[in-house]
Structure 1
Amino acid sequence: MAPNFDNTISTREQLRAVLGEPSPRVVSKVIDHIDVHCRGFIAKTPFLLLATADGKGKVDVSPKGDPAGFVQVLDDHTLAIPERLGNRLADSLLNMLERPQVGLLFMIPGKSETLRAGGTARIVQDDWLLEKMAVRGKKPQLATVVTVQRMFFHCAKCVMRSDLWRPEGWPDQDGVPTLAQAIIDHARLSDSVEQVQAGLDESYRDRLY
């Protein structure tokens, strides 16, 4: 049975009564372009999270990773993200065809601050761009081009609280299921853990690019 909640927040006024209003400095830190500070952060970013939603509002968040600097800044309002080999579900890409609005969170290992961006996306396959994104001599299949509408840096508090980059603060992994076991249970497979793990290992070895 789902839990029942009797004291929910349903209006902006209720929310602000609890949280208060942001300071003018916080509000004014949001910019509408990719400036020199954002460019510098993106150039060192090897990992980001991409948020999308379909036409019915179903939301998805997809991780993207490559060597640092894999996101191409094309001009002060445009960036491009390579689409590498994956599972072919194409959740984010299909969502963007229905609703182009996206959100991005750029992360640098060891860096507590993050960079957030929002804008509209389109899927392209122009060869001049894909060539620039080649890794190990292999071009991405597609690229997501984002027209940036807002960018701002996010403070370090959540990363500090989580000990995200501090190994001595990491939890042990006892009780965390393997991906192979989760796939077997979720997809109701008759394969053994060893068989599924072998398939994963092969994909990791042969299908990174």
Structure 2
Amino acid sequence: MSQTATAQGANTEIVFTPAAQRAMAARGSAQGYARKIASGFPDRVTPDLRGFIAELDTAFLATVSAEGAPYIQHRGGPKGFIKVLDDKTLGFADYAGNKQYITISNLEGNDHAYLFLLDFANRRRVKVWGRARVVENDPALMEKLVDPGYRARPERAILFTVEAWDVNCSQHITARYSEADVAGAVAGLRDRIAALEAENAELRSWLGQPAKKGPAQ
């Protein structure tokens, strides 16, 4: 995935904090990241990132409380449930859930947030650093974020301002496929089997041989 952004800020320390840079230097990996440390990271949504996000049906949102307690929450929905509102802003509907409100309460005291985006089938992942905020009672915004036909009750919106993002390596990602992906692949195989059975029956007819019955369906 290309990481060329329309604008790129001096945001290295968002991704590689001073402590992280010291750890990299002590362990011999700083030189390999020297260019990124010098130039910073993309801070806007590129066409490639937009396309990647449009295919996602799952994500993980990390927040931290004012007291420093970390929390990660799964977010999901139909493909494309995370909407790109502009080149700095992502948004998604917050649907009714277990009513613990940990993410919401964390963002009240600390708006730093992080999105971990995984495409299991293609073994790709993207890390996004930024700020998040909760938006209540905004019907116009919700109309942009809610997917028609998705059977869940939206309660509010979460907007995420992108400050930096980076593509993570695919190492150790186990490929997994959704039910819809598997159904699509199986449908193609069934169509191919049906076509081959029809061709086989036609050949047998031409040779004057009785058609073989396939396995019971």
Q: TM exceeds 0.5?
A: yes
Instruction: Quickly say closer, same or farther: Cα 1:14–1:104, change in 2 above 3 A.
Output: closer
Deviation at 1:130, TM superposition (A): 1.0
Bigger radius of gyration, 1 or 2? Answer: 2
Per-residue CA deviation, residues 45-74 of structure 1 (Å, 9 max, x unaligned), is 111010000001000000111011000100
In the TM superposition, 1:1-209 aligns within 5 A as 13=22, 15-21=24-30, 22-27=32-37, 28=39, 30-125=41-136, 126-132=138-144, 133-136=146-149, 140-159=154-173, 164-165=174-175
Question: What percentage of aligned pairs have identical amino acids?
Answer: 27
TM-score (norm 2): 0.64
TM-score (norm 1): 0.67
Instruction: Quickly say closer, same or farther: Cα 1:94–1:136, change in 2 above 3 A.
Output: same
CA distance in 1, matches of 2:94, 2:169: 29
Instruction: Quickly say closer, same or farther: Cα 1:82–1:20, change in 2 above 3 A.
Output: same
| Unpaired runs of at least 5, structure 1 | 1-9, 168-209
| Unpaired runs of at least 5, structure 2 | 1-18, 178-217
Deviation at 1:153, TM superposition (A): 1.1
Instruction: Quickly say closer, same or farther: Cα 1:109–1:135, change in 2 above 3 A.
Output: farther
Aligned residues: 154
Quick one: which amino acid aligns to residue 155 of structure 1? Answer: C
CA distance in 1, matches of 2:70, 2:23: 25
What is the RMSD of the two structures over their aligned residues, measured on CA atoms?
Answer: 2.3
Instruction: Quickly say closer, same or farther: Cα 1:29–1:152, change in 2 above 3 A.
Output: farther
